[in-house]
Amino acid sequence: MAIARAERNVVWDAFYFWVLQTLALRLPDLFRATWLGLRGSPSGGISQVLSIFVDELRTAAWVVLPVAVVLFLVAGRERRNPAVALDFGAAGSVLYAFLWLPYRLLILDGAWGRPIRPVALAFELLALLMVVAFTAYAAVVSRKATPVPPRQRKARGMLVIALLLAAGPVLDARWIAGHLALLKPVGSGDPAPDFTLSLADKPEASLQLSSLRGHVVVLDFWATWCPPCLSLMPTLHEVAEDLASRGVRFVGINSEGPDADRAAVRAFLGEHPSPYPTVLDDGTVAGRYGVLAIPHLVIIDRQGRIVKVVAGGASRVELEREIIAQL
């Protein structure tokens, strides 16, 4: 089939596009993850770099698979070709991402400020409508075997996309240069950035990190929707209770952002009582500590300096060993 032969590389083209888009639009996050790896947590840095690419590719998959399934089903029994359907799905994902590019170039995933929700919804609606229209067009093409457009059209389209993607690193580099201190995640030996956050269960009260100076402090960045965080909680609770008498203080930091449902977090804590306080991140603390993935633990010594950053889970033995070394 002519379409199958001409479009057989579309999946790879789409894959390369999404990788390039990640490099163009997630450069600050990649910079932070790389810095984390260089600062003494290679595994944490690598896992965070991979999570950034996987996050972008997951978005692509949500477009590729539905479009491919629809086209495979409507193509007709004689013309059903999984490869062709997948190619069209990949092309649809590029269209979806392309329509998002102008908005993401302005927002850069929060690097330039919080996204404007109505504008984001408008771009999302436009992208979805265009993908639906593209799917309808592709259904007609796959059923009638319409000739493939000339290669020159594809070349012009790729040139436009390349120019838009090229703007991403330029804007990112400019922002990185002006916010280097914010992007460099803190690591061993750095002073722990101070913060004052409201308690999750007592909105009228707050906790200031510097008030715990003189104690070994463990910060636990977590969220109610994070299974690894919830799996780690019993271990943290046990260690916190066992070491409390030795001057160790734990602080849970809910990292669901400034728009977190306080009532839902409070209800969760009611069902899962914690022996230590939990505060709500206002949207700035996780960034200052270079948190890209959770759970994320930070161990702080009695002088207020970071001695260990644990990106991901940790066993009880490992956690106790790191904490006791500071006593």
- CATH superfamily, region 196-324: Glutaredoxin (3.40.30.10)
What are the residue ranges in the chain where pLDDT is below 50? 1-8, 109-113, 146-157
Report the C-alpha gap between 129 and 133 in whole angstroms. 6
Q: Is residue 207 classed exposed, middle or buried when 0-12, 13-18 and 19+ CB atoms within 10 A define those classes?
A: middle
Q: Give residue 320's pLDDT.
A: 87
Helix-helix angle 27-38:42-74, to 10 degrees? 140
Structure tokens at 195: 């913060």
Q: Would you say the pTM of this structure is higher than 0.75?
A: no
Q: What SS3 state is found at 256?
A: coil
Tell me what pLDDT residue 218 has: 94
pLDDT at 177: 54
Beta strands 248-254; 278-280: pairing state: parallel
pLDDT score of 191? 87
pLDDT of residue 100: 77
Domain with CATH 3.40.30.10 in the chain: 196-324
